[in-house]
């Protein structure tokens, strides 16, 4: 049901709670959330860009997909960096 889905505002309100506690756990939690969010953003933008290929708004979606892909790569670097903590 649509009303059962959490709002972006609610998720944003919960993020500071993930940042609390021991730094090692907080950074792992925040990285996990950022990773999942950017993966979903990339997936959605890529799907929309593919679906709109040849249409006037294709370029907008393709730019979002490319930017999100950069985010996926950056979060991967963060994930690799925190493995030793």
User: What distance in Å separates the CA atoms of residue 78 and residue 53, rounded to the nearest whole number?
Assistant: 32
Are the beta carbons of 15 and 30 closer than 8 angstroms? yes
User: Mind listing the pLDDT tens digit for each residue in 66-85?
Assistant: 999 999 999 999 999 999 88
User: Mind listing the pLDDT tens digit for each residue in 5-43?
Assistant: 889 999 999 999 999 989 999 999 999 999 999 999 999
Claim: this prediction has a pTM higher than 0.75:
yes
């Amino acid at each position: 049901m649509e009303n059962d889905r959490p709002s972006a505002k609610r998720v944003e309100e919960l993020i500071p709670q993930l940042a609390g506690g021991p730094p090692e756990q907080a950074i792992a939690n925040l990285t996990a959330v950022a990773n999942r969010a950017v993966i979903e953003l990339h997936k959605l933008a890529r799907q929309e860009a593919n679906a709109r290929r040849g249409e006037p708004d294709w370029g907008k979606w393709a730019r979002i997909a490319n930017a999100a892909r950069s985010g996926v790569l950056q979060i991967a670097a963060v994930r690799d960096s925190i493995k030793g903590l």
